[in-house]
Amino acid sequence: MTALPAPSAPAPPAPVPAPKPRAPPCAPGDEFELHFIGELECGWDFPGLEVDDGLFVDYSCEAGMDWLPIARKEGFVGQTQTCYADAHGVYVFNHPIDFHYIADSVASWPQLHLQVFKLDAAGRVETLAYGSMTLPNACGHREVTVRTWRPLQRNVLEEARTVSSTSGADGALPASRAEVLHGEVRSKMVTKTSGSILVALDTIFRNAGKHQILTG
Amino acid sequence: MASFNTVLHRTQDEATQNLLGTVDTPLPPPQPPPSGPSQLGPSVSNGAPIPPALEVTAPIGSAQAASRLMGTETEDTKRSRADDAQREKTEMQATCFRMVLNGEIESAEMGSGGHGPLMCIFSMQHGPDWTVVSGASDGITQLACASVPTSSFVTSWRGGLAEFVWSFPLGVVYKSTSPFGWPRIVVTVYGTDLCNRRVVKGYGSVHVPCQPGRHTRTIRLYCPLSSSPLTRLLGALFGNPAQLVDPRILAGTDGREVIRVQSGGKVRVHFDVMLKDTSSFNYAF
């Protein structure tokens, strides 16, 4: 019988030194890469809008510390064009999305945070709605409808003032947008349903099999 | 005649040598010995990475290709032609993947805004890693009229939806090393206004689907708005409404936040996508 050298070679060294924060855990070319390609397509059903109210969306893609955005050091953030509704009440944003990440960990999957603003005829900008979605975690084409909401004010008087929009105050959030949309400080809020936003995404994985990641 | 051919061959040979800068030294013999194809066979068939020795010989391979192009056929080049083809195939497989896009720009629906014939100008935009291998990445369709007259009572009763069919074919082959900057199609629809002047009816863009197969996408269109009502009125009067100087910015995110648009209209596009050599990159689509 020949000796089997295989089991001894990949025996995991038990005292693993703590890795440096940005040290790649795998060989170059073997990283788990993700591409999210698509559009922030359109929005509809936003209540209380006049004909000459335009909408635009401010978005940011929030991922964990182990997610490295490629080609955009500041992360994937941006703002769409301001659009006015067509005959069916659809606001076409048609904003291109091309996110490229290298992930050292699949924990804290990236989330797309959306904030819808209204630009009225007098040039005032107000927040209309918030929404968030988790980016797809399986490759393929996906069309996601993001339902959005807006925070209600504390009492009826403030609420009436916000609806009549004379004050121009945006919906006051108890914390920053990222914290609220991540879902930890939301238990103190009262919100109201707002419109929907359609996001069409194609997801591409690289080296998912090498890292033994099973997706749907 | 024969002497003329010889002279021609010699001058072409000299031109090739000058082109390659190897006037003094003769062409080196082909690097892999004639037994090369038998060695290459298995690596091509099972898609294994090419050995480094083959990458080193790449310039010599291109030199041979150039001399073959110039018409100097020697015994050496003849012998190594099959070898060359095999090597090119292997290199192609290892360095980039291809995306073959066929399809058609099928039709448009302009709602109430469409009068008279419509024309579509399209252009495919891609990131820096991408290269067009063959085919035209932009084009202009014909002027298409709807089958029902758009201004009649019937269409207004039907909601003003008339279909303008172009059925214009698309055919491009791309190569790239990364999906970042995946190609997008940017369409511009031109129509005529009430005074029969050609005006922009809408812009739109969509990315080419990333999965192989047949896909149908609907591009929602929008038209830029002038910044003030006065210029809007003047533009409508003089047939010169606001339009984008370079519609290719619609394929990117830069500067989009300063545009104001009026939504309206749709273009339907069919995509037939084929992907090649993506398995060596471990991409899952």
pLDDT tens digits, one per residue of B223-262: 999 988 898 899 888 888 898 989 999 998 888 889 999 9
pLDDT for residue B15: 42
The percentage of chain A sitting over the pLDDT mark of 90, rounded to a whole number, equals 44
Length of chain B: 285
Contact criterion met (CB < 8 Å) for A204 and B285: yes
User: Over 50: is that where the pLDDT of B3 sits?
Assistant: no
User: Taking CB atoms and an 8 Å cutoff, what residues of chain B touch A210?
Assistant: 282
What residues of chain B lie within 8 A of the CB of A197, using their CB? none
What is the DSSP pairing of strand B260-276 with strand A82-84? parallel
Q: Which residue has the higher pLDDT, B52 or B247?
A: B247
Greater pLDDT, B16 or A98: A98
Neighbour tally for B175: CB within 10 Å: 18
Contact B207 A96 (CB under 8 A): yes
Q: What is the pLDDT of residue B255?
A: 87
Chain A residues in contact with B283 by the CB 8 A cut-off are 204-206
**Between residues 34 and 53 of chain A, which touch chain B (CB distance below 8 Å)?**
35, 37-39, 41-42
Please report residues of B whose CB lies closer than 8 A to that of A118: none
Beta bridge partners of A64: none
Top-confidence residue, B113 or B49: B113
Between A69 and A180, whose confidence is greater? A69
Which residues 154-193 of chain A have a CB within 8 Å of chain B? none
Rounded to the nearest angstrom, the minimum Cα separation between B248 and chain A is: 12
Nearest CA in chain B to A95: B253
**Cβ–Cβ below 8 Å for A206 and B206:** no
| Cβ-based contacts of A215 with chain B (< 8 Å) | 284
Task: Give yes or no for residue B101 having a pLDDT over 70.
Answer: yes
Which of the residue ranges A45-54, A103-112, B45-54, B91-100 would you say has the lowest mean pLDDT? B45-54
Cβ contact B264–A37 (<8 Å): no
Mean pLDDT of chain A: 81
pLDDT band for position A101 (cuts 50, 70, 90)? very high
Residues B2-31 have a mean pLDDT of 43
Of B199 and A159, which is predicted with more confidence? B199
Asked if A91 and B263 come within 8 Å (Cβ–Cβ), the reply is yes
- CA B14 to chain CA centroid, Å, is 37
What's the average model confidence in pLDDT over B140-150?
81
Residue A40: per-residue pLDDT: 95
- Span A49-63, average pLDDT: 91
Residue B74, pLDDT score: 46
Per-residue 3-state assignment (H helix, E strand, C coil) for A69-126 = ECCCCCCCEEECCEEECCCCCEEEEEEEEEEEEEECCCCCCCEEEEEEEEECCCCCEE
List, in order of start, the domains of chain B with CATH numbers. Answer: 97-281 (2.60.40.150)
Structure ipTM over 0.85, yes or no: no
DSSP bridge partners of A140:
A203
pTM of the predicted structure, to 2 decimals: 0.72
Average pLDDT, stretch B151-174?
A: 74
Tokens coding A180 = 């609220």
Give contacts of B 23-62 with A, CB under 8 A: none
Report the distance separating Cα B13 and Cα B8, nearest Å. Answer: 8
